[in-house]
A and B are shown apart, each in its own frame.
Chain A
């Protein structure tokens, strides 16, 4: 048991003897994740045993709708006390002062310096505004490629050597793995993780020297050639090209775990490993599936992996001072179990301590994820990141499903992102 936890414990004991035993209710909204739910429910019960004056209510929502729900709640000034979302969805809450800076004392870190020192370099940048941190990492994720070895063998390929290293190879191999009845796909070789375009599409352009936002902060979709290549690739991927998949097909990541011979490869983070074990205990790493690095174009100018993003716990600025303090205390408590978060849910809280632990080092494919993380760009985040994500989605749908010319789509995509940056409709 760490010393910090001991002090917290004795503090709690003291508290329970104090006269004022007024209870504080804290509501915590988070995205659905069966493995994490089990762990966090246990931690909430333990926390309550140690802090009888704090009651934490945990509410889960599907990840796709969580952002909308939190927004409508905040719009009505009824937001939860604690919540977490992806970096790009959380940033507007900081800018609009809807969340409070981390309370390093309540969270058990003591000071900002100690807080920053506990995490990987740069990990807190997306939640630092004006030199002050607004969130505590729940997870740091980068996506690599999960590969179904049975599908590879079935197509006469050796997964250990024939896996795709470049996007060009990715298309060829995916085509080889794809099984169709006429035009109708019954097994996809690989498919992207729509609609998270900021995670995989932006790095694809960056590998070719493109930029989502220019250095001046106002121009967008910089580097025509890079973006045209990416758009053309998606068109080629879709039903009007080589017909390898698309956003209207069932979510590749959800199908993968069941090993039903309907998906060869997909992209996901380390947490997927715990979910596979959960959904399909007989589907084993190194036998049934493996993980390979995020591909890079043959003529890439930058060796980049899929973007890394974070989920950060944040605290509502409209909660009372007591609730805020209780909230940080609870969040601080959860950071003490970083190793359990990784071991049981595959979630990396990005503290130096977890990375150094044996649990992490002995976890399947940690080396692949770490090597990719070392060359991963940060995901884009800003005031308008949700809108920008939508513009990218519209662009991919235009080339892929509507069969529009990439050159034409590039223009509207650039206008869309620039408008979003200016805060216009």
Chain B
């Protein structure tokens, strides 16, 4: 499962040979360009508006070149309405929570995948089915009882409460199991003959060879947690524990928030993922590919 950048040609169909084909081709270009422009408009709006005085943002017509260009919105956003700098804290909380969850998901999923495929034991099939069946359970249907579980464990309003319910995902186990099925047994046997223990083999043979898939899983997990609103909404009450999505929702509700500060908060909140995306776009695209490949 090595990583490669693929340039796909001919997957679709080229319509070039007839005059009709030329028109279709031009139409295709036009459509793509319009689609990209429309899709990028909200993003562009967000960044342009964050440099505008609040009262200009909803002025008609919208001016794509801010005049004057100001930076106050960013300062307001970072300070917060109460000057307590909760927003940077919320961003760090999100990084911490999503990062921890991504790490544990990758570790435990790979472990489970390894145990299920390479350390054959009786009942492995049933265990896999059990885990697979939880893949079908949408979070929204268990959130209320999960809330009861978490409060009974005394984890409400704590980092533990934010992290623990997501330590592991059924999708992760599924993905790692599928990838490990095609993992060459010879590598493992060679290590065993050298006298390596199972944990040793896992960390020295499996992990180094599987890291591209693990990276994909880590990114997908991080991304989905970075976006999680409904659970923090239930489980967090202290302002210090707010994650970024919860902060955004709260900030929108506050009286002293104006449009300028709001777009600035939105822009700053988007930047971390955008940076990760532009530097690691291969993994994102691969991440999506996993879904189409998982079917084979």
A residues contacting B by CB (< 8 A) are: 29, 32, 34, 37, 59-65, 68-70, 72-73, 75-78, 181, 184, 186, 251, 253-254, 258, 260, 275, 279
Contact = CB atoms under 8 A, between A and B. Distances in A.
Contacts of A62: 250, 253-255
Contacts of A72: 147, 156, 234-235, 237
Q: Which of A78, A253, A275 has the most CB of B within 10 A?
A: A78
Nearest to A253: B255
Interface in B121-155: 147, 151
Contact of B237 (A34, A37, A63, A73): A73
B82 A34 contact: yes
Contact of B254 (A29, A32, A186, A253): A32
A279 B258 CA distance: 12
Contacts, number: 60
Contacts of B235: 72
Given A32-B255, A37-B82, A60 B239 contact: yes
A24 B296 CA distance: 62
B82 A69 contact: no
Contacts of A65: 249-250, 253
Given A59-B238, A69-B237, A72-B234, A181 B55 contact: no
Contacts of A77: 151
A244 B285 CA distance: 48
Given A34-B81, A59-B238, A68-B233, 13 more contacts: A29-B237, A61-B239, A62-B250, A62-B254, A62-B255, A69-B237, A70-B237, A76-B147, A76-B156, A77-B151, A78-B151, A181-B60, A258-B55
Interface string B207-240: 0000000000000000000000000011101110
A271 to B, nearest CB: 11
B256 interface: yes
A174 B81 CA distance: 31
B93 interface: no
A127 to B, nearest CB: 23
Interface string B63-84: 0000000000000000001100
B55 A64 contact: no
15 contacts: A32-B81, A32-B254, A32-B255, A34-B81, A34-B82, A61-B239, A61-B250, A62-B255, A65-B250, A72-B156, A76-B157, A78-B157, A78-B237, A184-B60, A260-B55
